[in-house]
Structure 1
Amino acid sequence: MTDDKDLHRLWQSGDAALAPLPLAEVKRRAAILDDRIARRNRREYIAVGAVVAIFALYAIILPEPLLKIGSLLAIAGALVVAWQLACRTSRADPVAETADVRAFYRARLVTEEHMLARVGRWYLAPLVPGLATFLAGTAVASGLANPIGFAAVVALPTLLFAGVWLLNCRAAAMLRDRIARLDAASPSEGENG
């Protein structure tokens, strides 16, 4: 029966997920975060390049003026997204990392959480004018220039944007949990970096 009492005491003592992280684990997680950020940024920059190339081609070959304007606005929006990603993303700093690994890792997590929590402002919003104008041009060109036709054309991109926003909000919440765990952990004696 002592096992049940020990389990009960452990359960009442607090969340085991908030137990202090050993320094080696913090370093491992920081390296994983660095890798994920680098891969994500590469994917995003490749996507921006594809958007710019495709909409530049559209701007040249499509005859409808709204499609041309929408294409140019989409290019501008994609470039704003790339610029925002470059400005907002956290970057590895080997000097800071060796000084205080925990503080370095926490700062990177906070930067990423801040960026993901505001994805609607800096990632989705710059794409809306170009996409809306392009979709309006598509509706006009296809004979769906009425409110119901335009709503049908806009439905899928709206659902896609909502999905991107929700996934990023979820990821930001997960990072907030990770930050809380790191804040609850106190470095052990002799673990300075």
Structure 2
Amino acid sequence: MSDPFITLWTAQEHDARGLSHDELARRSRLLRRRVLRRDLTEYAAGLFVMVAFGWMAVAIPFWTMRIACAVTLLGTAIVMWNLWRRRPRDDAAALAQDAHAYYRNQLVAQRDTLASVASWYIGPTLPGMILFAAAVGHKSVQVMPLAAALAPIALVVVSSAAALWLVLWLNRRAARTLDEQIAALDAERDSTED
């Protein structure tokens, strides 16, 4: 499938400063492919979470677990919507930009998405995780001694915290990598303008 933006840029010779249009187009396609692959993975994970927690909400007869599952489902739906809103889009205004500016804007948008993952990704999932841990704790203390009930509570809390920390760390690391790419792209352009 041909990309009309890439075709337009490769037809323009005058705005290639440093990196060629072909190289910028290749990098832009690679970035879009990487983002699409990441998004598809997130959608698949979201679907898995929704099926699993939807099944638990129906199968588990305890109201505390059902509420926790419902909040988790809502949080996951919000995350999927946020991901959809932040997806790369073709913009008609991009036709007025040179290839360098368009590619830089793509990098900046992805960097901003990754850097703000705490608010749009972790934030919506946190209430469900907290309620799920509370529901596990509530049921555990009803059926076993307090000392034994702490193990499943700790497992839920520690695994949830570890997962959230990993998501935050990976996304911030990726955002720093994109910052470096943006700086290198700017330096490349500045060196060819002098």
Q: Which residue of 1 aligns with 2:32?
A: 34
Q: Which has the higher contact order (CA 8 A, sep 6+)?
A: 1
2:32 is matched by which residue type in structure 1? D
| Superposed CA offset, 1:124-160 (max 9, x none) | 1100111111121122223376895534430111011
Residues in 2 aligned to 1:118 and 1:148: alpha-carbon distance in whole angstroms: 33
Would the alpha carbon gap of residues 49 and 179 (structure 1) be closer, same or farther in structure 2, given more than 3 Å must change? Answer: same
Q: Which residue of 2 aligns with 1:61?
A: 59
Give runs of aligned pairs for residues 20-99 of structure 1, distance below 5 A: 20-93=18-91, 96=94, 99=97
User: Do residues 181 (structure 1) and 184 (structure 2) align?
Assistant: yes
Residues in 2 aligned to 1:153 and 1:131: alpha-carbon distance in whole angstroms: 8
Residue 102 of structure 1 and its aligned partner are, at CA, apart by 1.0
The percentage of counterpart residues that share the same residue type is 33
User: Do residues 166 (structure 1) and 179 (structure 2) align?
Assistant: no
Q: Which residue of 1 aligns with 2:125?
A: 127
| Superposed CA offset, 1:19-62 (max 9, x none) | 94333221111010010111111111122122111111111111
Residue 92 of structure 1 and its aligned partner are, at CA, apart by 3.6
Equivalent pair of 1:117/1:169 in contact (CA under 8 Å)? yes
Residues in 2 aligned to 1:42 and 1:97: alpha-carbon distance in whole angstroms: 27
Give runs of aligned pairs for residues 133-144 of structure 1, distance below 5 A: 133-143=131-141
Residues in 2 aligned to 1:97 and 1:25: alpha-carbon distance in whole angstroms: 18
User: Do residues 153 (structure 1) and 151 (structure 2) align?
Assistant: no
Structure 2, unpaired ranges of 5+: 1-16
Q: TM-score, normalised by structure 2?
A: 0.79
The answer to which of 34-43 and 164-173 deviates more is 34-43
Equivalent pair of 2:25/2:99 in contact (CA under 8 Å)? yes
The answer to which of 41-50 and 148-157 deviates more is 148-157
1:156 is matched by which residue type in structure 2? S
Equivalent pair of 2:137/2:150 in contact (CA under 8 Å)? no
Equivalent pair of 1:20/1:184 in contact (CA under 8 Å)? no
Would the alpha carbon gap of residues 168 and 66 (structure 1) be closer, same or farther in structure 2, given more than 3 Å must change? Answer: same
Q: TM-score, normalised by structure 1?
A: 0.79
Residues in 1 aligned to 2:174 and 2:135: alpha-carbon distance in whole angstroms: 34
Aligned pairs, number: 171
Residues in 2 aligned to 1:106 and 1:134: alpha-carbon distance in whole angstroms: 41
Structure 1, unpaired ranges of 5+: 1-18
Residue 96 of structure 1 and its aligned partner are, at CA, apart by 2.3
1:185 is matched by which residue type in structure 2? E
